Every structure is written in structure tokens, then in C-alpha cells.
Chain A
Amino acid sequence: MFHILLALSDGDLHGYGIMQEVAEHTAGQIKLGPGTLYGAIKRLLSERLIVEADERPDPELDDERRRYYRLTEFGQKVLRAEVQRISKMVSVAQRKRLIPKPRT
């Protein structure tokens, strides 16, 4: 679910677009299947973290049967909170020298 929220943070996407985005930011390690993807979308919709977008990013170039999804304000808050939590954990891991500190 985190990956889907992260994929939608840049803008509205349809199911296949979400899958591509997730595959890209995990370097191809996670390729969502249709059942997992739409099961997660169903749960995110019911928790109001995402909504179905009213308008389409490019209506002329796109199939009108596709449904686009958008992050809600609540979804953005949850995503930020989750990113901060992960970030703190990464900091702890860096202090413990489990992973190297990023070079600045």
C-alpha cells in the first residue's frame, strides 16, 4: 500500500501506471499483479487514502474506460507520516552502522 501511495504522490495514475511507477522506484523488484494491485486499491479507497479522479490527465490520448486514482489530503498525511517513520528507522540503522551514511 505504501508503494501505491508513493506512486500516486506525483499525480493521478491508472492501474497499469501505478504498477509501472512501483516497478521503477523499486528497480523492478516489485511487479504488482492485478489481484494484489486492485485489492490494495479497494482497501485504499475504503480507507479514503485515495479517490477516483474526476478528470483525466490527457483525455485525448487516453482510453476513456481507464480509471485514474488520486491521493487524498488524508492519504498525503499518512504517506508523509510513513516516510518520516521509515526515515527515522533509516537514521537509527545508520547510527548503528548497519547501512552507510549517504555522502553529501
Chain B
Amino acid sequence: MTRQRLFQMVLFAYPRQFRLEYGKQMEQFFRDCYRAERVSRGRLGVGGLWFRTLLDLARAAPREHLENLGKDNAIMKNFGKNALAFLGSIALVVMAFLLLSYGRKHEVSTILIFGRVLDALVTAGIVANLLIFLLMTIIHRNPLRIALWTLLLVNGALLLVSTVVGSKVDPNFNLGGVIVGYVVSFLFWLSLHWIWSKASGPRPVSHES
């Protein structure tokens, strides 16, 4: 089992589309080679097989990546998308900080629960959007679904922390206000991501190979 897992790790050096298309066959191929080497030459043969496999990886993986790059410029396309998403996240964080400093300066926290909502919007916004950005670059799944679960978990975790810590530290702690704050924050950021997903349209089918 270990050798199979090790080989699966080796496969991660190849482009995703190549892995999807040939990964299972390559695993089968390696299993066949392993069996043959173990029977015919024992440990020495198995060592030689790993050496050849790693040497082959060093030669073949860069070639597949280069071919991928040359075919549809996939890396540059993703780089552009990621740069845009990163700049968007930075802009959101800056806007959130400006709103917070405005709120603090004008003491809007005294107006009903506006301060709580603002706090929740900023903290959940920074943490959740950075996480969403990271997850979207790693996991190529539906971005809105990633945003939904991340926002739910982050807002939930922050609500829990605020409730536990705030009730001990702040004598004027208002649980209702904190809950409303994180619910509004969740709905606000989810709406933004929903609008973003509608504006960017459906994800195109990847043709990278």
C-alpha cells in the first residue's frame, strides 16, 4: 500500500489533466513493473525501478507542463485570474478597514447594533475571503459552494469565539447583537460572492492537456 501511495504522490508532479487521463493506467503500469522486478531481481530490482521512475518523472513531468503551457497558455490565464482575485480581495479588505475606522471615529457603535455588524463584517470578511481565495486556487470546484461553506464556518467560528471571550471580557456584552452581526456578515459576503459568480458566468470546461 505504501508504494502505491508513494507513486500516487509522484503522479502529483504531472499536470492535472494528464493525471486524470492517464493516472490510473500509470498506477497499473507501475504495479506491473513492481511485481516483475520483485519476482525477478528482488529488492535491488525494486530500488532500480524507483530510481528509473524518479528519473523518468524528472524528464517527463516538465515536458508535460511545458506542452500544457504552450498549448493554451493555461498558466498565464490562471495567473491573470488569480491576480484579479487577489487584487479584489485586497480592495475588499481595504474597504472594510476604511469602513471600520469611519465607524470608530464617528462612534457608530453606539447606534443600535451597527458597530457589531461592522465588526463582524470586517473580521469575517478578512478571514473568510482570504481562505476562499486560497481554497479557490487549490481546489477547482464550484466557487460559490466554496464561498458558502467557508463563510458559514468562519462566521460560525467567530460567533462562537466572540460569545465565549466577549461574555467574559466585555461587561456590556450583547449576545443578540453579536448574533445579528454575524448573520448579516454571512448574508452580506455570500450575496457579494453570488453576484460575483453570476457576473463571471459559468466556468468554462478545461481543455488543458
Q: Are A66 and B28 touching (Cβ within 8 A)?
A: yes
CB < 8 Å: which of B18, B21, B32, B59 contacts A36? B59
Asked whether any CB of chain A lies closer than 8 Å to the CB of B73, the reply is: no
Tell me the A residues contacting B by CB distance below 8 Å: 14-16, 19, 31-39, 41-42, 46, 63, 65-67
**Closest CB-CB distance, B100 to chain A, in whole Å?**
51
Per DSSP, chain B at the interface is helix
**Chain B residue at smallest Cβ distance from A63:** B28
Tell me the B residues contacting A by CB distance below 8 Å: 14, 18, 21-22, 24-26, 28-30, 32-33, 52-53, 55-57, 59-61, 63-64, 209
**Chain A residue at smallest Cβ distance from B23:** A38
CB < 8 Å: which of A15, A39, A67 contacts B60? A39
A79 to B186, CA, bound (A): 63
Q: Are A16 and B59 touching (Cβ within 8 A)?
A: no
CB < 8 Å: which of B22, B24, B29, B53 contacts A16? B29
- For the complex with contacts A15-B29, A36-B60, A63-B28, 16 further pairs of A-B residues with Cβ separation under 8 Å are A15-B28, A16-B32, A16-B33, A33-B52, A33-B55, A33-B56, A33-B59, A34-B29, A34-B56, A35-B57, A38-B18, A38-B25, A38-B29, A39-B18, A42-B18, A46-B209
Q: Are B29 and A39 touching (Cβ within 8 A)?
A: no
8 A-B pairs with the lowest CB-CB distances in the bound complex, closest first: A33-B56, A35-B60, A16-B32, A38-B22, A34-B26, A15-B29, A35-B56, A34-B29
Contacting residues, chain B, for A63 (C-beta < 8 A): 28
A8 to B27, CA, bound (A): 21
**What are 28 of the A-B contact pairs (CB < 8 Å)?**
A14-B25, A15-B26, A15-B28, A16-B29, A16-B32, A16-B33, A31-B52, A32-B56, A33-B52, A33-B55, A33-B56, A33-B57, A34-B26, A34-B29, A34-B60, A35-B14, A35-B64, A36-B59, A36-B60, A38-B22, A38-B26, A39-B60, A39-B64, A42-B18, A42-B21, A42-B22, A42-B209, A46-B209
